[in-house]
Amino acid sequence: MATARTIIKTQVGIVGGGPAGLMLSHLLSKQGIENLVVESRDHETIRNTHRAGILEAQAVKLLVDSGVDGRVLTVGDEHEGIDLRFNGESHPLDFTELVDATVTLYAQNEIFVDLAAARERDGGDVRFSSTVTQLMDLETETPKFVFTDESGTEFEVHCDILVGADGSRSFCRRQIPETNRKDFKVEYPFAWFGILTEAPKSSKELIYANSPHGFALISQRSESVQRMYFQCDPNENTDNWSEDRIWSELQRRVDGPDNFQLKTGPIFDKTVLKFRSFVREPLSHGRLFLIGDAGHTVPPTGAKGLNLAFADVKVLFEALDSFYTSKNDTLLHGYSDKALKRVWKAQNFSYWMTSMLHTPVNADPFMANRALGELDTVTSSRYGQQYLAESYTGWPHG
C-alpha cells in the first residue's frame, strides 16, 4: 500500500536553491511572504563548487541592502576596470573614469554561503537534497509540485506561485508545453579550460586576451588564489594537461613586446567549461515563472550570468510584492517582457565580447583580423570604451 504524500501549503514555491532561488526567498520573507525552497543538491556540494563571480554594483547593493551579509564588501575584491590585450599589447579600460562604476569579484559559492546562512538565520524553509519529480496545475490558481526528500519521504506542495530557479538543466522549464514556448540558442565551437592556482595576482585588473593561439582570461579569486582560463576544444580532457603545459599555454596567449609574465603556482583545480547562448520565451507559463539560468544562459565572457539572475529576482520580487500587498497581478503578467529586455541586451553584449575576443576555430584569417580591427576600434574610441564599460558594469535596474 502506497504511503500518502504529505501536503505542504505555502504562498510561493521555489524550485532551486542556488543564489537566485535563495535571494528571491530572502526578499520574499523580509516582506512576510511565505515561501519554500527545494534544492536537489546538498549544501556542501554547492558550497564546494567553485564558480567565478563578477558582480555589478547593483548586485552588491542588493546583497548588502537586503541584509544578507556584508562579506561581499570585506572579502569581495572591487575592480575599477579591465585590461583588453591584443597584438601582444595591453589596453586598460578605467570603468570609474569612463562611467563612474565598478564591479566586485566575489565567487558564486561564497554568495551561496551568505544566502544560505541568511535563510537559516531568519528561519527560512530550505530543503536541500530533495528532488522535484512532478509539476501540476500550472494554469490554475493553485499550482503544485511533488518532491522527495533525502529520507525518501514524498511531499506535495500547494502554492499560489511556482518559481523555477533550477539552473540551465531546468526541470521546471521542460514542463512548459511546446506550443507555449520558443527557444533561441547559439552553440559555440569552443570552451574554456579553467584552473585555480595558489599564486599571487598577475595583474591589478582582469586581463581579457585575444591571441593567434586563442583567447585567455587572467582572472583572480583572492590575494593568494587565482582563476585563469584559456580557449579550448569542448571535448578537451583535463588529464592530458600537466601543470607545465598549462602554464606554457597561458603564457603564450599573453606574450608581447612588454615581456608580461604570469605569476605561477601549484594548480589545484582543472575543469572544462562549456557554454552557449540560450533564451526561453516567455519566461512564464500560467503561475510558473522562470528566473536565472532556468530561463536563459550567456557565455561567461561578458560576466552577466549571475547579474542577470539577480535582475530577474528583483523584477519578479517586485511583481510578487505587488500581487500580495495590493492583489494586483499586472506586474506578474508583465514579468517576462520586462525581464527579457535586459536579457537580450546582455545576450548581445556577451555574444559581442565572445566573438571579438575568441580566435575562430577554423582559423579563418578574415574573421581573426576583423576581430582585431574591432578591438582596435573599441580601445581607440572613448565612445567605444564607454559602451563596453557601461555594459560590463551593468545597466540601471528599472
Whether 378 shows a pLDDT value over 90: the answer reads yes
Across the range 98-111, mean pLDDT stands at: 95
Mean pLDDT within 155-179: 97
Around Cβ 367, how many Cβ atoms within 10 Å?
15
The pLDDT value recorded for residue 53 is 87
Nearest 5°: the CA angle 370, 371, 376 is 95
Q: How far is 204 from 43, CA to CA, in rounded Å?
A: 33
Grade residue 10 by pLDDT with cuts at 50, 70 and 90.
Answer: very high
The pLDDT assigned to 198 comes to: 97
The pLDDT value recorded for residue 361 is: 86
**Active-site residue list:** 79, 208, 300, 304, 392
**pLDDT band at 51; cut points 50, 70, 90:** confident
Does the CA dihedral 28-34-40-42 come out positive or negative?
positive
Burial of 162 (0-12, 13-18, 19+ CB in 10 A): buried
- State pLDDT tens for residues 210-227: 999 999 999 998 899 999
CA dihedral defined by 236, 238, 243, 244, rounded to 10 degrees? Answer: -30
Question: What are the cell numbers at 125?
Answer: 524553509
Q: Whole-angstrom Cα distance, residue 238 to residue 129? A: 29
pLDDT the model gives residue 305? 94
Gyration radius of the chain's alpha carbons? 22
Provide the pLDDT for residue 363. Answer: 77
Structure confidence by residue, pLDDT tens digits, 252-304: 999 999 999 999 999 999 999 999 999 999 999 999 999 999 999 999 999 99
Average pLDDT of span 93-98: 98
Residue whose entry in the numeric block shows the C-alpha cell 603545459: 245
Q: What is the average per-residue pLDDT within 83-89?
A: 97
Question: How far is the CA of 334 from the CAs of 175, 280, 282, 285, 339, in angstroms?
Answer: 21, 15, 10, 12, 9
Give the three cell numbers for residue 246.
598549462
Q: How confident is the model at residue 54 (pLDDT cuts 50, 70, 90)?
A: very high
- Give the pLDDT of residue 397: 73
Residues 336-351: b if buried by 16+ CB within 10 A, e if exposed:
bebbbebbeebbebbb
* pLDDT for residue 1 is more than 60: no
The pLDDT confidence band at residue 150, using thresholds 50, 70 and 90, is: very high
Cis status, amide bond into 300, omega within 30 of 0: no
pLDDT tens string 323-375: 999 989 999 999 999 999 999 999 999 999 999 999 988 878 999 999 999 99
C-beta contacts of 139-142 below 8 A and 24+ residues apart: 139/285, 139/286, 139/287, 140/286, 140/287, 141/287
What is the Cβ-side half-sphere exposure of residue 200, based on CA atoms within 13 angstroms?
Answer: 4
CA distance 392 to 79: 12
Q: How far apart are CA 312 and CA 304, in angstroms?
A: 12
**What's the confidence (pLDDT) of residue 18?**
96
Greatest Cα pair distance, the chain, in angstroms, is 76
- Is 304 in a helix, a strand, or coil? coil
- Tell how far CA 363 is from the center of its chain: 30
Kindly report the average pLDDT of the chain as a whole number: 95
pLDDT digits (tens, 9 = 90+) for 306-336: 999 999 999 999 999 999 999 899 999 999 9
Model confidence at 398, pLDDT cuts 50, 70, 90, reads low
Neighbours of 71 (CB within 10 A): 16
